[in-house]
Amino acid sequence: MADKLITDLQLRSEVTDECNFPVDDTIQGYRVTAAQLQTYILGTDSVTTAVIEDNAVTEPKIADDLIHALTVVTPLAGDHVAIADASDSNINKKALVSGFRNAVYRSVTSTDSVGADDETMKLSGSAFTSTLPTAVGVEGKRYKYIHAGTNFVAYTLATTSAQTIGGIASGSYKLMTTGEVLEIESDGANWIIVGRHTSNLPVTYTPATTGFGTISGLSAYWSRFGSFAKIRVVFTTGTTNGSTATVDLMGSQTSSSTYTSVSGANSLVGTWARSTAGAFGGTVLIQASATALNFSQQAGGVGGGSVATGSTIIGNTTGFTAEAMIQIADWQP
- Residue boundaries of the structural domains of the chain: 103-197, 203-327
Using DSSP, state whether 40 is helix, strand or coil. Answer: helix
- The pLDDT of residue 103 is 45
pLDDT per residue over 74-131, tens digit each? 555 555 555 555 565 555 555 555 444 444 789 999 999 999 989 999 999 999 999 9
pLDDT per residue over 259-289, tens digit each? 876 556 789 999 999 988 766 789 999 999 9
DSSP H or E segment with residue 37: helix 34-41
DSSP H or E segment with residue 310: helix 310-313
Q: What is the C-alpha separation between 276 and 317, in angstroms, rounded?
A: 10
- The pLDDT of residue 92 is 53
First vs last C-alpha separation in the chain: 93
Query: What's the CA angle centered on 52, arms 49 and 57, to 5 degrees?
Result: 160
Sign of CA dihedral 308, 314, 318, 324: negative
pLDDT per residue over 189-242, tens digit each? 999 999 999 999 999 999 999 999 999 999 999 999 999 999 999 999 999 999
Q: What is the C-alpha separation between 176 and 192, in angstroms, rounded?
A: 19
Predicted TM-score (pTM) of this structure: 0.68
Using DSSP, state whether 6 is helix, strand or coil. Answer: helix
Q: What is the C-alpha separation between 10 and 5, in angstroms, rounded?
A: 11
- The pLDDT of residue 280 is 74
Residue 41, pLDDT above cutoff 70: no
Task: Judge: domain 103-197, CATH 2.60.120.
Answer: yes
